[in-house]
Chain A
Amino acid sequence: MYRIENKRKLNETVTEMDIFAPLVAAKARAGQFVILRVDGDGERIPLTIAGWDRAKGLVKIVFQTVGSTTLRLSKKEAGEEIADFVGPLGRESETAGLKKVCVVGGGVAAAIALPLARTLFDEGADVTAIVGFRSKAQVILEEEFSRSAARLYLTTDDGSYAEKGNVTTPLKRLLDGGARFDAVFASGPLVMMKGVVETVRPFGIPVTVSMNPIMIDGTGMCGGCRLTLISDGKRQMKFACVDGPDFDGYAVDFDEAIVRNKMYTNFERAAYERACRLFQVNK
């Protein structure tokens, strides 16, 4: 069992937790993920690591309540335990040698972009952070980002806070204005990451995207997390858990990934509704 040391609500649907898992905390790096189960009969879900405190043995996770498992998790309080927590899995983000970097995060995935921005910032890179949300009520981690980046651009789709638009709005403006980065990193919804790739493409800057497909074991055994990389017209199958989760954004077949992510939509809705009834929450 793994104890929840701290719990903090970041917005209406997004929760941050520190889990006591010293072995994972000792090794965690930006870009890696954990797999957890809330209860004994629970599903295994992957979550990208949002931070760590090696001295205290804590691993930070940030998640949005979207289904049965995340609803169950959100109902756990500090001091309670979850059944399973394994990691760190996957490869760390490749940051070595990067001097001028743009880190882009959308929605709850801003929490994934944060440790990466922090790592780059601590390594002395010039970090531009762009984070986007639907509206003011969804904004998370603004203060943390402002401490881990030389420049922070914040957007909301409806313009209720900061700049109106999505993450590609300031990104395109910066690139058009002559900003040149060694690399761009994007994490967020698949459609957003695809948009970032298309925005950057004309400028020939490498784009790394953080993929978060459906997984079970997270160690390469099941192959459920497979995705396709296309380069020079050749298609190549990769497993996000062992080959990623970071991939070359120009090569990822986003259209396939978007469809695969929806494989269990109906099932997930039913499971979520059951969990809602269990906790008597309004959907």
Chain B
Amino acid sequence: MNMSNKKTPMRMQDPAQRAKNFDEVALGYSEEEAVSEAQRCLSCKNKPCVSGCPVGIDIPAFLKKIKERAFDEAYEIVTRSSSLPAVCGRVCPQETQCEKECVRGKKGEPVAIGRLERFVADRAAAKKVKTERPAPNGKAVAVVGSGPSGLTAAGDLARKGYAVTVFEALHVAGGVLVYGIPEFRLPKAIVRREIENLKSLGVKIETNVVIGKTLTVDELFERGFSAVFLGTGAGLPNFMGIEGEGLCGVYSANEFLTRSNLMQAYKEQPETPIMKGGRVAVVGGGNVAMDAARTALRLGAEKVYIVYRRSMEELPARREEVEHAVEEGIEFRLLCNPTKILGVEEKADPKFGFVRGMECVKMTLGAPDESGRRRPVPMEGSEFILDVDTVVIAIGTSPNPLLKDTTAGLQTDRRGGIVVDERGLTSRENVFAGGDAVTGAATVISAMGAGKLAARSIDQALFS
């Protein structure tokens, strides 16, 4: 038993060095470190940590195997519940899930469950632990979207013997894991590896197919699929509706991150352009805002601001991401809201139409609003200009209307999110949905939980 009140530290790249490269920030545990950390687990009989896991991994069981150095068996236990352990070990907000429930966390730090999950998955990949291909059950299921919910549903269904085809609109599979989350937080090689694992289970992946355009949901049934899972993700980026959002140098976070991650604009002499360097303001306080800010820094920005209208207390990003951003030198302009983006107005100037600054107003916190958070109120006359030439807007997304417009009888809510019941079933027979397309922007693991639920419900619907 390891009675230390602190987690076994994980090695990190030095902040000054990592702010200039796209290599992974956190370097992972060695076998010794993993065993030592696993020994902090008390093996509680009632397993409170499992109740905090959206996909229900038997955490004490896999930690026990790590203690015994039976790493392959630990991996086997994790993959019974999770299709993407190397991903989740990196990007799950464990502090609000499994680790929040950990008894060790009552006095000191909880067991580092996320880091151990990552260790087990990375080690299995290095050793090429093979998963076995199940016997086919004769039914085909179509999965729309290859992000975390789609990949999870595909994996679970394939393990039950379904012939699964995943349809992806982009040219590579992975959804937000490849276009959104940057390399330094989730190396793309890991996503590719997890997808290869699914392929070895028999999952087919069709890229360059936009369901709702190339094929409709009804055509998927005509083509012989017995059920359809819609995991199409968050959708259209929100803008603020202020003056100047059409200027050159203003990006949605989706566009900025997609250019850098999916299109690899961070490389030397890329084919896809992105504005590098300069002074950058990222508007918003979520994980996506942190990703955009840290990406801008690595692209060579001389100054990067996070502009957020509430205080640090309300800032929704994970603490760890905020700490990393601060360490790397990103400046937080809190209680601060953009009112106007200013452009170069002289037509003869080669920078005509490009951003030259962002006007902001200082905010103060008033009474709590319907969300329970204190409402930010502008302080009259406190306007000032932030000297920036690039603005990245990371204030969330709205559902994509593509599927709603082309699928008769598919019910959506007032916002446009797909309506599902407690089984993940939509208003259409044998059409299930989950992830951000249902909930609006949320986490990778909650999307995986929804994919898992839908896979179970699809199995019940097709074999009842």
- Please judge, given known A-B contacts A221-B258, A242-B236, A259-B353, whether A27 and B214 are in contact too, CB under 8 Å: yes
Q: Give the interface segment out of A48-56, A125-133, A262-270.
A: A262-270
Given A87-B214, A220-B400, also A263-B235 (CB < 8 A): no
Chain A residues near B239: list those with CB within 8 A. 223, 226, 237
Whether the Cβ atoms of B214 and A86 lie closer than 8 Å is yes
Q: Is the CB of A223 within 8 A of B252?
A: yes
Partner of A228, one of B233, B246, B252, B402: B246
Q: How far is B353's CA from A264's CA once the two chains are assembled, in angstroms?
A: 12
The answer to whether A220 touches B235, judged by C-beta atoms less than 8 angstroms apart, is yes
Contact A220 B255 (CB under 8 A): no
Instruction: Report B-chain residues with C-beta under 8 Å of the C-beta of A227.
Output: 246
Question: Cα distance A81–B247 when bound, in Å?
Answer: 37
Give the number of residues in A that approach B within 8 Å (Cβ atoms).
Answer: 42
Structural contact, A219 and B169, CB atoms closer than 8 A: yes
Q: Are A260 and B213 in contact (CB under 8 A)?
A: no
A35-43, A101-109, A113-121, A169-177 - interface stretch:
A35-43
Q: Is A271 an interface residue (CB 8 A)?
A: yes
> Which residues of chain B have C-beta atoms less than 8 A from A259's C-beta?
247-248, 352-353
Report the Cα distance A264→B275, complex, angstroms: 8
Other-chain contact of A262, B248, B254, B273 (Cβ < 8 Å): B248
Q: Is A216 in contact with chain B by the CB < 8 A criterion?
A: yes
B207: Cβ under 8 A from any A Cβ: yes
Chain A residues near B252 (CB-CB < 8 A): 222-224
Does any Cβ of A come within 8 Å of B269's Cβ?
yes
Contacts of A37 in B (CB 8 A): 171
Contacting pair A221 B352 (CB below 8 A): no
Closest to B256 in A: A222
Mask: chain B, 166-183; 1 = CB below 8 Å from A; 0 = not: 000111000000010000
Task: From known contacts A41-B271, A86-B208, infer whether A221 and B214 are also in contact, taking CB-CB under 8 Å.
Answer: no
Is the CB–CB distance between B401 and A242 below 8 Å?
Answer: yes
In this complex, what residue of B is CB-closest to A85? B208
Q: Check if A88 sits within 8 Å of B214, measured CB to CB.
A: yes
Chain A residues with Cβ below 8 Å from B269 are 271, 274
| B215 CB-CB contact with A under 8 Å | yes
A237 and B245 within 8 A (CB): yes
B264: chain A residues within 8 A (beta carbon): 41
User: B23-47, CB under 8 A of A: which get 1 and which 0?
Assistant: 0000000000000000000000000
Verify B248–A263 contact, CB threshold 8 A: yes
* B244 nearest CB across to chain A (Å): 10
- Contact A216–B263 (Cβ < 8 Å): yes
Q: Mark B218-259, 1 if CB is under 8 A from A, else 0.
A: 000000000000000101110101000111110110110011
Question: Which chain A residues border B171 with CB–CB below 8 Å?
Answer: 37, 44, 83-84, 86
* Min CB–CB distance A91 → chain B (angstroms): 9
Enumerate chain B residues within 8 angstroms of A211, measured Cβ to Cβ: none
A43 to B400, CA, bound (A): 23
Of B170, B269, B400, most buried by chain A (CB within 10 Å of CB) is B170
Q: Is B272 an interface residue (CB 8 A)?
A: yes
Q: Tell yes or no: B210 within 8 A of A by CB.
A: yes
Partner of B246, one of A23, A69, A260, A274: A260
| Mask of B196-217 contacts with A, CB within 8 angstroms, 1/0 | 0000000000011110011100
Interface string of A18-38 (1 = CB under 8 A from B): 000001100100000000010
Pair count A-B, CB < 8 A: 114
Contact A222 B255 (CB under 8 A): yes
Sorting the interface of chain B by its residue count into under 10, 10 to 19, 20 to 34 or 35 or more gives 35 or more
CB distance from A152 to the nearest CB of B (A): 33
> Could you say which residues of chain B place their CB within 8 Å of the CB of A220?
235-236, 400-402
Of all chain A residues, the one with the shortest Cβ separation from B176 is A221
Binary flags per residue of A228-265, CB closer than 8 Å to B gives 1, else 0: 10000000010100100000000001001001101110
What residues of B have a CB within 8 angstroms of the CB of A268 in the complex?
Answer: 273
Assembled-state Cα–Cα distance A193/B197 (Å): 51
* Residue A139 at the chain B interface, CB threshold 8 Å: no
User: What is the minimal beta-carbon distance from B243 to any residue of chain A, in angstroms?
Assistant: 9
**Distance between Cα atoms of A210 and B382 in the complex (Å):** 43
Query: Once the chains are docked, how many angstroms separate the CA of A274 from the CA of B353?
Result: 27
The answer to whether B246 touches A271, judged by C-beta atoms less than 8 angstroms apart, is no
Complex Cα distance A68/B273, Å? 12
- C-alpha gap A274/B264 in the complex (Å): 17
Q: Which residue of B lies closest to A68 (CB)?
A: B271
Give Cα A84 to B262, complex, Å: 14
B-chain residues with CB within 8 Å of residue A83 when the two chains form the complex: 171
Residues in A neighbouring B352, C-beta threshold 8 A: 259
The residue in chain A whose Cβ has the minimal distance to the Cβ of B272 is: A43
The residues of B that contact A239 with a CB separation of less than 8 Å are 236
What's the Cα separation between A268 and B270 when bound, in Å? 10
Whether B402 lies near A242 (C-beta < 8 A) is yes
CB distance from B404 to the nearest CB of A (A): 12
**What residues of chain A lie closer than 8 Å to B207, measured between beta carbons?**
84
Q: Are B248 and A221 in contact (CB under 8 A)?
A: no
Query: Cβ of B401: which chain A residues have Cβ within 8 Å of it?
Result: 220, 242
A27 to B215, CA, bound (A): 8
Task: Give the docked Cα–Cα distance between A260 and B207 (Å).
Answer: 30
Contact residues in A for B246 (Cβ distance below 8 Å):
226-228, 237, 253, 256, 260
Judge whether B271 and A271 touch: CB under 8 Å.
Answer: yes
Q: State which residues 76-124 of B face A: CB under 8 Å.
A: none
B208 touches A84 (CB 8 A): yes
When the two chains form their complex, are residues A216 and B259 in contact, meaning their CB atoms are under 8 A apart? Answer: yes
Given the known inter-chain contacts A89-B210, A260-B246, A262-B353, please indicate yes or no for A223 contacting B236, CB distance below 8 A: yes
Contact B210 A216 (CB under 8 A): no
Task: Tell me whether A163 is interfacial, beta carbon within 8 Å.
Answer: no
Report the bound CA distance from A260 to B355 in whole Å: 11
Q: Is the CB of B273 within 8 A of A267?
A: yes
Give, as a whole number of angstroms, the nearest-CB distance from A47 to chain B.
14
- Chain B residues, CB < 8 A from A224: 251-252, 255
With A41-B264, A44-B263, A242-B400 given, can you name 15 additional A-B contacts, CB distance below 8 Å? A23-B214, A43-B263, A43-B272, A44-B171, A87-B210, A217-B170, A217-B179, A220-B402, A223-B236, A223-B239, A237-B246, A253-B246, A256-B246, A256-B353, A271-B271
12 contacts between A and B (CB under 8 A): A24-B214, A41-B271, A87-B213, A89-B213, A220-B236, A221-B237, A222-B255, A223-B237, A223-B252, A259-B247, A262-B353, A274-B269
Using a CB–CB distance below 8 Å, which chain A residues touch chain B? 23-24, 27, 37, 41-44, 68-69, 83-89, 216-217, 219-224, 226-228, 237, 239, 242, 253, 256, 259-260, 262-264, 267-268, 271, 274
Closest 4 CB pairs of A and B: A259-B353, A222-B255, A267-B273, A223-B252
Interface residues of B (CB under 8 A from A): 169-171, 179, 207-210, 213-215, 233, 235-237, 239, 241, 245-249, 251-252, 254-255, 258-259, 262-264, 269, 271-273, 352-354, 400-402
